[in-house]
Amino acid sequence: MTELLTHAISLINDCFLGYVLMAALIFAGLYFTIATRFVQFVRPKEMLKLMISGGEETRGTGHISPFQAFAISTAARVGTGNIAGVAIAITVGGPGAIFWMWLIAVIGSASAFAESTLAQIHKVKTGTHFRGGPAYYMKNALHSPKLGLAFSVIITLTFAFVFNSVQSNTIAQSLNATFHLDTSICGIALAALTAVIIFGGLKRIARFSAIIVPVFAGAYIILTLVVMILNLDKLPHVFGLIFSDAFSWHNVAGGTLGATIMTGARRGLFSNEAGMGSAPNAAATAHTSHPVKQGYVQAFSVFIDTLVICSCTAFIVLLSNYQQFPGLEGIALTQKALTFQLGNFGNYFLSASVLLFAFTSIIGNYYYGQANVEFITRKKSVMLVFRTGVTLMVLSGAVLQLKLVWNLADLFMAALALMNIYAILRLRTQVIDALADYRKQKEKGLDPHFHPEEIPSIGRSEAWEK
């Protein structure tokens, strides 16, 4: 019965995720790209500057900086999918899938800008920190508390519990395969480390993410650069392969071009989660003078996830002539490719990368759940039960097979994304007007500050009141 149910849900996911959701995400990305006059391309230097700013103004205030908010969202975005998912995209869709992954990420970053700007506009202040996200702007801007409640419940179950159990399982299986560590021991260690961080509150989560994310992302990038330097003579061929396969007449004649485009597009969309309603939960926590600043930061985060981290995996696999490893896919293929390039060191490094990628995802996913539990209730007893439940799911996830739960999570994720796309498109005027206000102040040489009462489409916002 379980096998039949798993298969049925998988078929629904293939149709729902593959076509309806993808069409909605691409439409939203294209709309906001055009409506904002290509916001994701205009100020790349400013995006970088805003990302690393804010440390001084938040020190001692209880707030977190734009960089810490960026680190939390990137921690959740950058997971094992950046290693396994990209390798699968290449084996299923061919090298051309990488081009479509890049293109869709660039388009989707406009949606990331929109949803994160809205999260900042409609954030609320609780004690010493801000919180917000789609549930909050659904309630406060769309005046649809029921939609916000449904979103908050589903995202909490999906990210904090299901996705975290799967990440825990990935870590345990990887460490067992490489170092022969017992999965139950891995589960206990992961659960203990998770508890230490999440019971420490938002500031501890932010500090952990701000340290670990740059370290593991930087190490992965450096190692990829080493592989690229060792294969300089092959780089032109690999770039040529990516672009030629993306538009190959051979693929058109063989009927596989659609699979190439769909595989790359799905990898790009589901890797960076742009427009899906997850990252705004972190974006809302940042202390900043104008919502558009955090919109820029989160648009930049999409580039980091897909154009940098996912591309690292793609180059490692393609430079290793992945077709010489028939039958391998996912993490196994990436691991084999890195071992082929760097010997046993590559094998051990990738296991460590999987550990760090997946564990930071656990922490980022947890925070998405926390922000939405706080939307439902502020009772400390409920938060204690929630944190304990997350810790137990991390523990059990290390030793259980979760295929049915994973398929259900995919279905829930589609529901979340469609609710969020509906909301940001309904609130599109607020995004465009906030951006116009920001640009107007920049043209006057000012450091933009947000006054919602001066923007008719917004009018009033709790956290921004004078």
pLDDT of residue 283: 86
Q: In whole angstroms, how large is the CA radius of gyration of the chain?
A: 21
Cβ atoms of residues 68 and 61 within 8 Å: no
Widest pairwise Cα distance in the chain = 65
CA-CA distance, 370 to 9, in Å (whole number)? 28
The one-letter amino acid code at 344 reads N
pLDDT of residue 15: 61
The one-letter amino acid code at 168 reads S
Is the backbone of residue 120 left (phi > 0), alpha (psi -120 to 50) or beta? alpha
pLDDT of residue 121: 94
Instruction: Give the orientation angle of helix 235-246 with respect to helix 311-319, to 10 degrees.
Output: 110
Tokens of 142: 């769309």
In sequence order, what are the residues at sequence separation of 6 or more whose Cβ sits closer than 8 angstroms to the Cβ of residue 62? Answer: 127, 128, 129, 203
Buried b vs exposed e over 107-137: b needs ≥16 C-beta within 10 Å? bbbbbbbbbbbbbbbbbbeeeebbbbbbbbb
Closest CA relative to residue 264, chosen from 284, 246, 285: 246
pLDDT of residue 420: 93
CATH numbers and ranges of domains, the chain:
2-464 (1.20.1740)
φ, ψ dihedrals at 64, nearest 5°: -115, 155
pLDDT of residue 63: 61
In sequence order, what are the residues at sequence separation of 6 or more whose Cβ sits closer than 8 angstroms to the Cβ of residue 396? Answer: 165, 187
Please state the three-class secondary structure of the chain as a single string.
CHHHHHHHHHHHHHHHHHHHHHHHHHHHHHHHHHHCCCHHHHCHHHHHHHHCCCHHHHCCCCCECHHHHHHHHHHHHCCHHHCHHHHHHHHHHCCHHHHHHHHHHHHHHHHHHHHHHHHHHCCEEECCEEECCHHHHHHHCCCCHHHHHHHHHHHHHHHHHHHHHHHHHHHHHHHHHHHCCCHHHHHHHHHHHHHHHHCCCHHHHHHHHHHHHHHHHHHHHHHHHHHHHHCHHHHHHHHHHHHHHHCCHHHHHHCCHHHHHHHHHHHHHHHHCCCCCCCHHHHCCECCCCHHHHHHHHHHHHHHHHHHHHHHHHHHHHHCCHHHCCCCCHHHHHHHHHHHHHCHHHHHHHHHHHHHHHHHHHHHHHHHHHHHHHHHCCCHHHHHHHHHHHHHHHHHHCCCCCHHHHHHHHHHHHHHHHHHHHHHHHCHHHHHHHHHHHHHHHHCCCCCCCCHHHCCCCCCCHHHCC
pLDDT less than 70: residues of the chain: 1-18, 53-64, 75-81, 127-128, 201-204, 206, 248-271, 401-410, 466
Q: What does the pLDDT look like over 428-440, one tens digit per residue?
A: 999 999 999 999 9
